Amino acid sequence: MPVSDTIRELEALVRYHQDRYYNYEPEISDAEFDALWDRLRELDPENPLFSVVGPDSSDRFPKREHRIPMNSQDKAADPEAFLKWAAKINHPFYLAQYKMDGAGIELQYEQGRFRYGVTRGDGKVGDDISANVARMKGVPPRISADFTGGIRGEVLMSRTVHRKHYADKANCRNAANGVMKRKDGVGSDLLEVLCYDAAHDEDDLYFADEPAKLDWLVKQGFAVVSHRRCATAEEVVAVRDEVAAARPDLDYDIDGLVVKGPEIDPDDMKRARPERQIAFKFTLEEAITALREVVWSISGHLYTPIGVTDPVRLAGTTVKRANLVNTRAIAEMGLRIGSLVRITKRGEIIPKIESVVTTPEEAVDIEAPDVCETCGTDLIDEGTRLFCPNMQCPKREHYRIRKWIEVLDIKDFGPVLVQKLFESGRVRSIADLYTLAEDDIVQFDRMGEGIARRALRGLQSVREIPLARFIAGFNIEGIGELIGEKAISAGFDSLEAIRDADPSDMAARTDGIGETTAATLIEGVRTLYAEMTAVLANGRITIGRTIASRELAGTSFCFTGAMQSMKRAEAEALVQAHGGSTRGSVGEGLTYLVTNDPEGTSSKLQKARALGIPIITEEQFRAMIPDESVGTG
């Protein structure tokens, strides 16, 4: 094939896969795209594609120009390429920032007020999705500085949110890209913006240097991308290796480092591909192996396909199992038993089958289960999920009991005990938990009186809980505390009010809840209403007070350790009474962790520090509550 034809073919492939990357679901890995890109650059270094940015815009939103050019970066795929770049540029020292794997956004401020949120688009003009961006975490509506200009960031979905709400999407980036462009804005409050750059409209010297810029962003209330200062290029390489090893423990996807010097160069930033910074990417771990079997992992009512492959070395471990996501992914890949497949590991604990390399003639079709193995109900296959629709399925009931224990953060009542009680028939519903005696637990192997006593003490220590948490504990699909709180804030503040509501009315009155989600919540409460009232009937569990004020609206608290002036349940009730929310665990979106041991080493404290969540004392918490609400202890 003539070189000119090869170039045209490569151009077409790059354009096509850029469009898939920004607007749909990618069909090839980052490494495969980079290979196409590098081959085109090798054959045609001056190709116009190298001076444009892949578009992410659509016709659904108005267009707006950027204040900072949102250009792409050159890449270094290995230490050799990075060190060659570093020797040419010769910065006095380096800033190594996490290269977040999300969707680019520009926040535009005028005299300190947030005005617009604009997507990457073609690098010069993007979609104005301001209403959605205003609901995301990390976007202050007003900053203290009288600043007019642009702030660059990345819209991200945490792995926790992805697993809980959007597991049908291939990865966090695709899910975030889809959610942030929803016309109804549903889900935008689950996203977060991490910032890494800023520029004043009229003053190129507004910031002294890059470190000062990052300090300014933090002081103005923005969440900033993690970064390290490195004295040498070799230290950057060491940091890259360190961060790559830590990827499985992060709650956000990253695919490398962005490396720059301390100096600000406005002219360089205007180039299609700035020369004085570079994307130092991780080496993608991938391997080729054969698919031998598909097993179906059952979690509650969901059936998830897991591929069993010939053993292969990947990222320093032997891999024999890989995620297949859902039945749609299997069909789209044309995957069969016996297919030779490409497996990647991008920091996730479980590798993923990305594509089919070849399929031999003797390969066998993959058969998905069609009936629930527990209750015999016909499974429903929606492509993105395969599930049992029977709300009273024993498998679902078992999972619901475990979920209740988890959501209420009940101590010393683990999954092994739940399973023993369920299999014995002693506990078949959440309400049955509150009829247990010590003898019911002691009868099991390795369950002595001490264990039984602690388990019951943990169960009985949680008495009054907010309505939103009560509902979340029943594991209605897609309905967590956040959705419940939104419905309650809109006036649907009792089980009966939710049960009797109309989905369209709830959606119209509730910010951030669409009609589909409203219907799911209402139908779930209707179906489980008898079980919910049975839990309340014995008087061991009560639903907390209704909201007396809105002073803590939008603020969430998690309590850990012993409290001095009140019981934990009383503190949680105070928060709920003033419009705030409480959490049983530390995670993205939590506003405060309350403890009387702020220097402690508990898992909650460690996680809060890692996520940058403020840690306050009980005294500081009490100061946030109206005086007349707080007792003297």
Q: How far from 608 is each of 248, 558, 562, CA to CA, in Å?
A: 18, 10, 18
Choosing from 520, 543, 566, the residue where a domain stops is 543
Q: State which H helix or E strand residue 22 sits in.
A: helix 3-23
Task: Mark whether 577 and 517 lie in a shared domain.
Answer: no
235 and 334 fall within a common domain: no
Domain of residue 18, CATH code = 1.10.287
Residue 160, classed as helix, strand or coil, is helix
- Average pLDDT estimate for 168-181: 81
| Single-letter residue type at 351 | P
One domain for residues 277 and 293: no
Average of per-residue pLDDT values in the chain: 85
Distance CA 421, CA 62 (A): 57
Q: Is the pLDDT of residue 628 over 50?
A: no
Among candidate residues 362, 384, 406, the one where a domain is terminated:
384
pTM of full prediction above 0.75 = no
What is d(CA 338, CA 342) in angstroms, rounded to the nearest whole number? 13
Residue holding tokens 């919910």? Answer: 532
Describe the strand order of the beta sheet including 113-119 as a list of residue ranges.
Answer: 113-119, 103-110, 149-156, 192-200
Tell me: pLDDT of 52 over 60: no
Question: Is residue 192 predicted with pLDDT exceeding 60?
Answer: yes
Which residue range is the domain that position 348 belongs to?
Answer: 285-384
Q: Would residue 389 count as lying in a domain?
A: no
Domain count, the chain: 5
The percentage of residues in the chain with a pLDDT greater than 70, rounded to a whole number, is: 90
Residues 489 and 441 in one domain: yes
Task: Kindly state whether residue 487 falls inside one of the protein's structural domains.
Answer: yes
Please measure the distance between the N-terminal and C-terminal CA atoms of the chain and give it in whole angstroms.
84
Q: Compute the average pLDDT of residues 534-538.
A: 93
Indicate which residue of 63, 75, 84, 99 is catalytic. Answer: 99
Same domain flag for 244 and 366: no
582 — pLDDT class (breaks 50, 70, 90): confident
Q: What is the pLDDT of residue 31?
A: 59
Average pLDDT over residues 569-582: 79
**In this structure, are 122 and 266 located in the same domain?**
yes
Region 267-290 average pLDDT: 81
Q: Kindly report the CATH number assigned to the domain that includes residue 77.
A: 3.30.470.30
Domain annotation covers residue 236: yes
Q: What is the pLDDT of residue 400?
A: 93
Query: Quick check: is 270 catalytic?
Result: no
Residues 101 and 194 in one domain: yes
Same domain, 374 and 409: no
- Residue of 596 and 165 predicted with greater confidence: 596
Residue 58 lies in a domain: no
Q: What is the CATH number of the domain that holds 342?
A: 2.40.50.140
Average pLDDT score over residue span 240-249: 84
CATH number at residue 613: 3.40.50.10190
pLDDT confidence bin for 535, thresholds 50/70/90? very high
Does 190 fall in a domain? yes
Which of the residue ranges 369-373, 406-410, 573-577, 619-623 has the most confident prediction, judged by mean pLDDT? 369-373
Neighbouring C-beta atoms of residue 228, cutoff 10 Å? 15
Question: Does residue 238 share a domain with residue 121?
Answer: yes
My answer on whether 136 and 189 are in the same domain is yes
State pLDDT tens for residues 379-389: 999 898 899 98
| Arithmetic mean of pLDDT, 368-392 | 92
User: Do 245 and 106 belong to one domain?
Assistant: yes
C-beta atoms surrounding 400 within 10 Å: 21
Does one domain contain both 34 and 70?
no
